[in-house]
Structure 1
Amino acid sequence: MTNFFEKMKQSIIDDFQGVTEVKVNQNPIAQLNKYVRDSEKELEKAGKLVERQRLLKNEFHKEWKQATALANKRKEQRDLAIHAGEDGLAETALLYQAQAEEQADRLKKAYDTAIEQLSELEQKHEEMKLKVKDMHIKRLELMGKENVLSMKEKMNKLLSESEFGQAAENFDSVASEMKKKESNFDDEYEITIFDAKIQKLAKEINNAEKQIQKQENVVQ
């Protein structure tokens, strides 16, 4: 059961990563951002290699100086043995001197090579820095262009004949509906006024008839 859930979990992760990669591939700016991030990682790795080469060069220089000092020491020991008439010691000192000088020569060549390699790596590293900086600038330029294109697209959509015509029709429809309601309100108002006048007239006639009837009753 545990294996089943692990497989299900991994399947979901893979699907999510797949969707993310599709989104990145469909978005040029996101794709460029990913490329810049990858380049920055490579630049960081290159910087570490340069620093490692610099340390290696310094180590070669240190070993070369030590080998040279040892060769000079063996030479002094040989001279001392010769001066003392110790031919056996002199030969041994000479052998040691030759070994030290050979080692010093190898280290000097390795040191010179390390200097050349370091110079080359530093140059490449600077070129990478400029390249990444150029990518940043291009990314900003493309982001600006994308913003302009997006804005233009929205403006064109708003100002396009079909969309603008539809909006105009909607405004006309609303205005017509409001005018219709206003006319209905006016009609209702006039009818209300008419009914009020009729009601008032009827009341006046009724009062007049009552007054006449009262007068007739008084005369009788």
Structure 2
Amino acid sequence: MNTLFEKIKQAIKDDFYEVAETQKKTNPISLLNQYLRESEREVKKASKLIERQKLLRDEFYKEWQEIEKMAEKRKEQGEIALKAGAEDLSEIALREQAQYEERADRLKNVYDNSVHQLEELEQKYREMKLKLKDMHMKRLELMGQENVVLMKNKMNRVLKDTEFGTPAENMENIGKLFEREEKKANDEYEISIFDARIQQLAKDLNKQDSGDLRDNS
């Protein structure tokens, strides 16, 4: 019995050291959690980049529209100067009109590029979020698999045969041992009761014999 209890204590110690060693080893779910945290940080960075790109796009559009207005304004001013016979002012207006139109064309290209870049960023951002969602689902799937593996290992440990037999047999043996101890105690108790009753009967007989002797005398 002591040997069995020592075996149980040793099994508990083995479980403790096994858990400690497992924590030291590389855990796939821990690695996945770390990768998820890094990916979430990247998704947040991408979100900020998109917001900044939107601000740039709006700024390019605003600047482009202002330059277009200035080009249109110089065009109208040149026509007025030409009608008024102020050819020098008309030439200045037409020259600045051309400069503004050239700048407007450049800004339109910059604006169009910023729109295209924003669309690409938003597409990548959507893909990142979908990938992150898939990774979260994969983590849940792996956690489920881990639970099954851990449960099977524990069940196998319970059901596994040892040099003392299966755990169920060990429990049955302990139960039989307790039954024998209980029977032994009951037998000893019955013997004690038997001895006590015999002693009492002997005393009663002695008293009766003593009484009969007095009566005869």
TM-score normalised over the length of structure 1:
0.80
Within 2, Cα distance between the matches of 1:82 and 1:146?
Answer: 85
Q: Distance in 2 between matches of 1:23 and 1:205?
A: 79
Return 5+ residue gaps in structure 1 as ranges. Answer: 1-21
Q: CA deviation at 1:171?
A: 3.1
| Structure 1 counterpart of 2:65 | 65
For 2:52 and 2:41, locate their aligned partners in 1 and report how far apart those are by CA, in whole Å.
17
SS of the residue 1:157 aligns to: helix
Aligned counterpart, 2:186: 185
For each residue in 1:61-99, what CA deviation from the matched residue of structure 2 results, as whole angstroms up to 9, or x when unmatched?
Answer: 111111011001001111111111111111111111111
The answer to whether the aligner puts 1:40 opposite 2:40 as a matched pair is yes
Secondary structure of 1:26's aligned partner: coil
Map 1:111-130 onto structure 2 (within 5 A): 111-130=111-130
Q: Which residue of 2 aligns with 1:93?
A: 93
Give the structure-2-normalised TM-score. Answer: 0.81
Aligned to 1:105: 105
Equivalent position SS for 1:161: coil
Structure 2 counterpart of 1:171, one-letter code? E
Which is greater in Rg?
1
Query: What RMSD in Å do the two structures reach over aligned CA positions?
Result: 2.2
Going from structure 1 to structure 2, the CA distance change for 1:23 and 1:190 (only over 3 Å counts) comes to closer
Q: Where do 5+ consecutive residues of structure 2 fail to align? A: 1-21
2:157 corresponding residue in structure 1: 157
CA distance in 2, matches of 1:96, 1:25: 72
CA apart distance, 1:186: 1.7
Letter of the 1:110 counterpart: V
Q: In the superposition, relative to structure 1, how do residues 29 and 73 fare at CA in structure 2: closer, same or farther (>3 Å)?
A: same
Change (3 A) 1:43 1:77: same
Aligned residues: 195
